[in-house]
Amino acid sequence: MTKPSSILFVCMGNICRSPTAHGVFQHKVTQQGLERTIAVDSAGTHNYHPNSPPDERSQLHAAKRGYDLSDLRARQITDADFDRHDLILVMDWDNLALVEDLCPPEHRHKVRRLTEFCLTMDSQVVPDPYYGGAAGFDHVLDLVEDACDGLFRHLTKATQRKAQP
């Protein structure tokens, strides 16, 4: 990859879905040795849990699949995020509407739903597991892993196209 990419994952409170996506995608980036090429971050549309670690259930389910979320901390999306990141990937329709409302027009092309990158699963959104049971957190991981595989493929193909004469 030639130009460094910066990806921001966004959900409502930045304690379940977006830190899960952050951790899964960061793991994939690290496995490929691309930490200097791809930056990964996450944020929430709301400031409900400032500087809190991800929900314990998110951490537990992620750890069962080999992902460590323990060093992540919740924060709210800022104006600077729209300049800083190349892609801003939201988890659901409400997140999309809120982020688009905050986003300057010149950066709206960066805002997309994470599930647009799913390779095998068919879902418009990554549903919020917060008020549900364990199956919801596993479903989030299934969707996030599939979408992150597709995102990685998308970034790799985009870089290959830019590298061609």
- CATH number, residue 22: 3.40.50.2300
pLDDT at position 160 is 59
Mean of the pLDDT values across residues 25-39?
95
Comparing 7-11, 20-24, 35-39, 76-80, which segment has the lowest mean pLDDT?
Answer: 35-39
| pLDDT confidence bin for 2, thresholds 50/70/90 | very low
- Residue 98 predicted with pLDDT over 90: yes
- Residue 50 predicted with pLDDT over 70: yes
Catalytic residue of the set 11, 103, 118, 148: 11
Cβ atoms 28, 152 nearer than 8 A: yes
pLDDT at position 157 is 79
What's the total number of domains in the chain?
Answer: 1
Catalytic residue of the set 41, 55, 81, 128: 128
Q: Cα separation of 108 and 100, whole Å?
A: 7
Share of the chain above pLDDT 70, in %: 93
Examine the residue annotation and report whether 161 is marked as an active-site residue of this protein.
no
Catalytic residue of the set 16, 17, 57, 92: 17
Backbone angles phi, psi at 162, to 5 degrees: -65, -30
Examine the residue annotation and report whether 16 is marked as an active-site residue of this protein.
no
pLDDT at position 1 is 38
- Give every CB contact of residue 100 below 8 A, 6+ residues apart in sequence: 108, 111
- Residue 43 predicted with pLDDT over 70: yes
Tell me which residue range forms the domain holding 152: 5-163
Q: What is the DSSP letter of 76?
A: B
Examine the residue annotation and report whether 138 is marked as an active-site residue of this protein.
no
pLDDT digit string, tens, across residues 131-163: 999 999 999 999 999 999 999 999 987 665 655
- Give every CB contact of residue 57 below 8 A, 6+ residues apart in sequence: 16, 129, 134, 137
Q: What is the DSSP letter of 140?
A: H
Mean of the pLDDT values across residues 74-87?
98
The average confidence (pLDDT) of the chain is 94
